[in-house]
Structure formats: C-alpha cells, structure tokens
Structure 1
Amino acid sequence: MNAPAVSFRRARVDAVVALIADCLAAAGLSRDNAAAVAELMTEADLTGADGHGVFRLPQYVRRLRAGGFNRTPSITVDRTAPATALVDGDNGMGHLVVKRAAEAAIDIARETGVAWVGVRRSNHAGSAGLYAELPVRHGMVGIYSAVASANHMAVWGGKELLLGTNPLAIAVPTGAGPMVLDMATTIVSYGTVKKYALQGLPMPEGWLIDRDTGEPITDPARSGQGLLLPIGGYKGSGLSLMLGVLAGILNGAAFGRDCVDFNADDTSETDTGQLVIAVDIARFVPLDRFTAEVDRHMADLRASARLPGVEAIRLPGDRRRECRTERREAGIPLPAALIVQLDKVAAELGVTPLFER
C-alpha cells in the first residue's frame, strides 16, 4: 500500500510557544503555568517527538475545559528521607508536576549525591526525554520513567490491555550536549499511532496486532482493536511491567486495570505515576573528566567498522540534537490536518491562529 502524500507547513518556534500558552491560559491555566507547559511541549517538537508537542494541544484543552485536569493544582513535595521525595501532583497537568519533581530531584542530589523522586496524582507529561535532560544541565545523570496514561499492550502471551507503553529515558552530559536515550517499551508510542491516524497514513506491519486473531493491523483507525507489540518480545513486556511497578505502585499511583485511558476520557482523574532520578556525577568522578571520557568513547563508537549498507553510526541523542538545530532555524513542520485542528481550537478559545502570529 502506498502512503498518501502529506503536506506540511513550517511554523516559527516562538509562534508555536505563544499559541500553546494562549490556548492553555484561555482554557483556565494561570499565565505562568501555561507558559511553562508551552515551553516543554514546544521542546518536544524541537527534538523530533512530534507526537508529544503541539499535536497534543487539542486534547489537553479538552481535558482542561472538561475538568479532567486541575487548572489550579497545589503541587506538594514530601521529603521522605535524605535522598527521596514523593510529589503529589493534585491532578495538575503532567508537565507542571514532573518539572517540579525534576527540580526537587536536582536540589536533593546536590545535597546527597543521588535523588529518587516519585510522583502520584499526575497526568500525561509528554516526551520522556525532556525530564531526563533537566538534571544534565546541572552536571548530573537524569533518569525518568512513567506509567503511560492508557494501556495499549498486554502481558507477554496475553491479550488484555493491562500494560502501557511505559517509557524510559536516560540522559548524560557530553561535549556536544546531552546524550539522551528516550524509548517506549512498545515498538512505537501510541502518540505515533495517533499521528498516523490524523494524517491518514497506513502503519507498517509489526506495530499492532489484532487482539483476537494476532494478525497485523496497519489501519490506525482500527488501533482500538489491537495490541501494541513490545520491544524485544517478552523482554519489552517485562520491562514495561517493572517500570510500571516503580513509577506506579511504588508511588501509590494507578497501574494495570486501575489506569484510566485519557485518550477516551476527558473528565476522570488519571492518577498517573512517574519517577525522576538525579545522580551528581562529581560524587564519582570530576564532571569534566566524565564528559571527556564519554566523548572519547562516543568517538570510538562512531569510528567503528560498519556493516554493509550502513552509512554512519548513530548514537542516542543524535537525532534530537539535529532536529533541535534544524527546526529552530527552519521552523516546526506541521501536517495540514493538524493545522486545521489547531485553528479550530484557537477559534473556539478566541485566540490568534498560529499562522497569523
């Protein structure tokens, strides 16, 4: 099957930030909170995580207006031990909650060398790599995981939707900027499936299978009938399970059957669980030495012998860095179908449309 042509238009980065902030403020967030979320959402687009940036704005606005998100949350941090804390998000937007958790982890790690901060009563927070990167700016290793805000995978061998795409992101500093591994525990995130559905594109085989027959599903409109496949077979299923235990059960947050599908429900509290870990590199080795050694080994890996047909060795963070550089200059590419949705949201909220800014 040949994919239909999809037209894109480039939007200025500052215009995207302003549109998101204005829409979220019009939907009930404070100006400061709307601006903070807008920066994080746009950063997702800049780093190539297109399923987690402005693409999510219509859904977030719906939940704000329907009461699914608390517009004025009181986010609290409970320091449970010298190196641990538990954040209660008060059902606020996930970006605000996890940003606060990352800030707490950084502050604690400055004192103790390492910090583990759990999160409960949060929501979908977008791209995992955003939050793993935050500690890197302070000379630390950052690790982030979450219970996905909907179940799209089964335990290995099962067919019930009881596990999520539960992501894992790890970031370390290098001379060229953060090296970031940002991955779902399924072959693709559900945001990617939604993106294909919006653009009317067929999906490759190997992403989704029918829950009853096990046959491949390539029509994203049929995704509700399917299971997302885990990375690495049973290993990906097991990794999703363990991350769900750490980010969900350990924090008193939702897991398994208790998860609320925020794609289908705009009003219920999702009680999403997340975790942020920060490790102060200087407690182990001087930061400049660590960075130099990472750079040396990265150079060695890039220069290693390649398999036939491989033009270049690519490492975690390469695409993020290239996207950020290219999109800051050329603008963020948006498909025509998404622009229609964004214009509709802007009109409903009485804010200036994206391409009139």
Structure 2
Amino acid sequence: MNAPSVSFRRASAAGVKGLIADCLAAAGAPRPDAEAVAGLMTEADLTGADAHGVFRLPQYVRRLRAGGFNRTPSIAVERTAPATARVDGDNGIGHLVVKRAAETAIEIARETGVAWVGVRGSNHAGSAGLYAEMAAAHGMIGIYSAVASANHMAVWGGNELLLGTNPLAIAVPTGTGPMVLDMATTVVSYGTIKKHVLQGLPMPEGWLIDRDTGEPITDPAKAGRGILLPIGGYKGSGLSLMLGVLAGILNGAAFGRDCVDFNADDTSVTDTGQLVIAVDVARFVGLDRFTAEVDRHMAALRGSARMAGVDAIRLPGDRRRECRAERAASGIPLPAALVAQLDTVATELGVKTLGER
C-alpha cells in the first residue's frame, strides 16, 4: 500500500516567528519572553529540526493557558564554584531557561576556560543543537544534554517507559560555521513520531516496538502502545541513562519515574533538567589554528573514498547549514495538517493566521 501523500505550504521565517510570538504573548507570556522563544523555535525550523519549531506551538499555548508553564518566571543563577553554576528555571518555558544557562556557561568559560552549568525547574526547550551552537559562536566548544520531557524508552531488556530520548548536542567552531552534532539517544525523536501521527504517515520498522509483544509498530495510530528503540541497542539505552543522571539527578531535577509526560499533562510541573558545557578553545590552542585544523580534517573526510552508491560524504552540521540557507530563501515547509492546527490556535487567540502574514 502506498503511503498517503502530504501537501505542504511554505511560510517565511518572519511570518512563522511573528505567529509564534503573537500566540505566546496572547496566551500570557510577557512580550520579550515570547519574542525570545519565537526566535529559538523559528531557528529550529530553519535548521531542519521540524519537530521542535512551530510544530510545538499548540502544545506550548495549551500549557501556558492551563498554568503548566510559569508565565513570569524568576530564573535564578547560582554560581556554585569558579567553573560551575546551577540555574533554577522557576518552571519557565524551557527555551528561556536554557538560553540563560548557555549565556552563563559562555560567561564563566571566558573567565575559567571551561564551564559546567546545570539546570533544574525547566521545561521542554526544543532543538538541542541551538544551545550547543551558542558557545561555538563565541569560539568555544558547546555541549548540551537534557532529560527528555517524557519517557518513551525502556531500559535495555525492560518494557516499562522509564527513560527518555535524552538528547546530546556538540558544537565545534570551524572556518565555515559550526559543526553541530544533534542527536537523540533513540533511533528517532518522539517529535518525529508525533509528526507521523499528525500526518497519518506509516513509520519504518525499527523505530517503535509494542511494549507487550516486542513486535514492530508501523501504524501511527498505534504509536501510544510503543517503546522507542535506542540507538546502538544497549549502548543507546546506557547513554540515555547516563545523560539522565548528569542532566537530571545531578541537578536535583526529575528522572525516571519522577518525569511528567508533558505531552499528556498540561498542568503539572515537569521539573526538567538540562546541562550546558562550554570550553574555551583558546585555552588549549589558538582559535585560528584550531578551526584551520578542523577544516583540514573535515576536507580529508569529505574527500575520502566512498562506498558504492554513496554520492557524497556528509558531516555533522552539513544538512543543518544547507537547510537553513534553503529555507531562509524559500520559506519553511509546513504540512497542511499542521497549518490547520496553527490556524485554529491563532483564531482562538485572536491573532493573525499564517496566511494573513
């Protein structure tokens, strides 16, 4: 059976950002906060992280209106040692909290050469690569991880949802823009599953298995019965666990059974934990020398012999960079089902729809 076709429409980045900001402000967020979140969400869309941009707007609006987010958080930074700090997000929208954490890490790393900033009291913050990339823009290596805002994976060999897609992002400055690795510890993010559910698209085998039978799930209507599979088998499960310890338990944030499924619960405090690490390259080697060496090795990797049928070797950040350039020029592609959702949210809030921008 052929997969159903999906129609898309293009929307300008300015239009998407304006819609997000207007909707968040209408739902109760202070205008400056709404603008900041909108900028980060739109950047996720521009760089190809479609499950973490405007796709999330209806959910964020629901949580704002239901009281699940603190509309006016007092985000507090506690400097715990020369190279460490902890940020308490006061249940604010995650983008605001992690942005503050990344800024704090960069500031500390300028002083000490390296910084580790832990986060608690946060929420879902969208695309992981955004926050690692902030450090790279300042000539630093950036590392970001988080406890996912819902558990969709079991520990290896189990069938109870106790681990998340806990992402890892690493950004390295190069001469042509940052090289960014942004990955979930599951084969795909749960946001990708949600996209397939919204559009009614079948899923490939190897993404989800039935938690009772272990059989593959490809029908998006049955996704709720599934367990996301980890990357690399038990290795991905172990990586998710360790990142959860570092981003969650170390910060006094939620982990395991304590995690709240923010996809199903719009009112409970999630107490999401995250971490940002910044490393000042110049403390080890001159930045120009470092980027030149990275560029040299990247060129060698791209120019290396290829397997049969491979037209080009791609490195972390290549698709991200190409996608941003193409979408900045041609607009962000949005499936019709998502546009319909966004139009409903905009109408309910009394703001202009995408088509009116």
| TM-score normalised according to structure 2 size | 1.00
Q: Which residue of 1 aligns with 2:105?
A: 105
| Structure 1 segment 56-67 matched on structure 2, within 5 A | 56-67=56-67
CA distance in 2, matches of 1:109, 1:354: 40
Amino acid at match of 1:79: R
What secondary structure is seen at the aligned counterpart in 1 of 2:14? Answer: helix
Is 1:91 the counterpart of 2:96 in the alignment? no
Q: Which residue of 2 aligns with 1:20?
A: 20
CA distance in 2, matches of 1:2, 1:165: 29
Instruction: Provide Cα deviations, 1:238-277, integer angstroms capped at 9, x if missing partner.
Output: 0000000000000000000000000000000000000000
| Structure 1 segment 179-258 matched on structure 2, within 5 A | 179-258=179-258
CA distance in 2, matches of 1:283, 1:150: 38
Amino acid at match of 1:187: V
Instruction: Provide Cα deviations, 1:140-192, integer angstroms capped at 9, x if missing partner.
Output: 00000000000000000000000000000000011111100000000000000
CA distance in 1, matches of 2:175, 2:108: 25
What secondary structure is seen at the aligned counterpart in 1 of 2:202? Answer: coil
Amino acid at match of 1:296: R
CA distance in 2, matches of 1:48, 1:221: 25
Is 1:38 the counterpart of 2:24 in the alignment? no
CA distance in 1, matches of 2:241, 2:351: 42
Which segment is superposed worse, 338-347 or 215-224? Answer: 215-224
Is 1:157 the counterpart of 2:149 in the alignment? no
| Structure 1 segment 267-286 matched on structure 2, within 5 A | 267-286=267-286
Q: Which residue of 1 aligns with 2:345?
A: 345
Amino acid at match of 1:180: V
Instruction: Provide Cα deviations, 1:89-145, integer angstroms capped at 9, x if missing partner.
Output: 000000000000000000000000000000000000000000000001110000000
**1:355 offset after TM fit, Å?**
1.3
CA distance in 2, matches of 1:226, 1:5: 24
Instruction: Provide Cα deviations, 1:62-115, integer angstroms capped at 9, x if missing partner.
Output: 000000000000000000000000000000000000000000000000000000
**1:217 offset after TM fit, Å?**
0.3
Q: Which runs of 4+ in 1 moved over 3 A?
A: none
Amino acid at match of 2:264: A
Q: Which residue of 2 aligns with 1:82?
A: 82
CA distance in 2, matches of 1:158, 1:352: 47
Q: Which residue of 1 aligns with 2:118?
A: 118
CA distance in 2, matches of 1:221, 1:284: 51
Amino acid at match of 2:309: G
What secondary structure is seen at the aligned counterpart in 2 of 1:152? Answer: coil
Amino acid at match of 1:255: F
| Structure 2 unaligned spans of 5+ | none
CA distance in 1, matches of 2:8, 2:156: 38
What secondary structure is seen at the aligned counterpart in 2 of 1:73? Answer: coil
CA distance in 1, matches of 2:224, 2:272: 21
Q: CA RMSD in A?
A: 0.4
Instruction: Provide Cα deviations, 1:320-345, integer angstroms capped at 9, x if missing partner.
Output: 00000000000000000000000000
CA distance in 2, matches of 1:226, 1:56: 21
Is 1:171 the counterpart of 2:177 in the alignment? no
Amino acid at match of 1:222: K
What secondary structure is seen at the aligned counterpart in 2 of 1:285? Answer: coil
Q: Which residue of 2 aligns with 1:317?
A: 317
**1:308 offset after TM fit, Å?**
0.5
Number of equivalenced pairs:
357
**1:223 offset after TM fit, Å?**
1.4
Amino acid at match of 1:103: E
**1:2 offset after TM fit, Å?**
1.8
**1:19 offset after TM fit, Å?**
0.4
Amino acid at match of 1:126: G
